[in-house]
Structure 1
Amino acid sequence: MIKKNTLTLHSLSVSKDSRTLISVDTEVKPGSITTIMGPSGIGKSLLLAAIAGVLPATFTQNGSVCYDGAELTALPAHKRRLGILFQDPLLFEHMNVAQNIMFGMPQNELSKQQRADTLLADVGLQGYGQRAVQALSGGQQARVALLRTLASAPRAVLLDEPFSKLDMQTRHQTRCWVFDNIRQQGLPCIMVTHDEDDALDAQGPVITITQPEQDTDKLC
């Protein structure tokens, strides 16, 4: 039976030069946050790249990525509709806050500006739409980056240590807000991290990768 809104990795692995760097087999249910833990350099970010369809050509992947029972593996990244949040917010500095959020919205969104204003108000940033993103604090930028991701109507969310550069207080507040929104929207989510506090706040299944560090061309 196909489980609706479920992201499934069927023995998905990433290899280089015939050496397997990381391999995961899991099912992520809607509103659940699965954490993949392990030290830097073992391929966690490469796994997310494989899921998203942006794995560098120097690496090889095996296994499959499925959503609602339909395989995504052969689809290009833009057709997979998976949202990604990175360590750095990666906001467009030539756009203001509202424009960053509107950038990812579906073309059929009736009132992008109104939608952006509503989202900003939901996260305590009412009136920030016309501000330059460079004027925001780290925590505020992280929230805008998540709003941009969620506004794109993703089917699932991938988190690549998005809280690692925030200070301790801001980090806890921001990740709890991120996780609450993912749960409220019923999105399956996979987060990679080496921080146990991230996993505790996620309150979901934890997959620990224990293989020794490998040379992955500093892409993980």
Structure 2
Amino acid sequence: MSEMFLGNEMVKLNGIFAGENPFEIAKAWLRDAEKSEPNDPNAIALATVDADGLPNVRMVLLKSITDDGFWFYTNYESAKGQEIAATGKAAMVMHWKSLRRQIRVRGIVIREDGLEADEYYASRSLKSRLGAWASEQSRPLESRSALMAKVAKITTQKGANPKRPPFWGGFRIVPEEIEFWADGAYRLHDRFVWRREASENEWKITRLNP
């Protein structure tokens, strides 16, 4: 059980909501999901907007949660990569039916294409590494056979230990808002949102109506 300020009032956050660090709570929820979700407990719905302000959302695998953000990897030249580059912002949601919980995150996005990206790329299977080179993600494709032919060509060119493509790497969502939601009887759900104006600021917690 932990005590935190909720507005101007001290409240006790207990059970699955207890904690003084929202990243640690998120990690705990993800560990719970890994025990109960049948597939991809780390799947997130990632939302961005295009140049006209029209939203885009797609499923992406979250690589890790650290004390400075939520990490995922992709092709920088993909639709999501270009939209993130243009706005520097994104939102995501993790939803687990088995737990009847979800986490929503909104914030700025920082490109991470250094040592961490190299290490993660190297840890992937060879076929996945070669696939990252071959796929012009989000762009028109003539046929699947054309894609497979390109994979074969890349395999010949890059060999058994390809380096990380310069157009592929990581993004880290640095949240300004994290909401924890848990299902309640009669649709009277529990919702707590943690907000801060900048990463160096203290979190403020608010209980929301269901």
TM-score bin (small chain): under 0.3
Q: Indicate the structure (1 or 2) with the bigger Cα radius of gyration.
A: 2
Higher RCO (Cα < 8 Å, 6 or more apart):
1
**TM-score normalised to structure 2 length:** 0.28
**TM-score normalised to structure 1 length:** 0.27
Which has the larger share of strand? 2
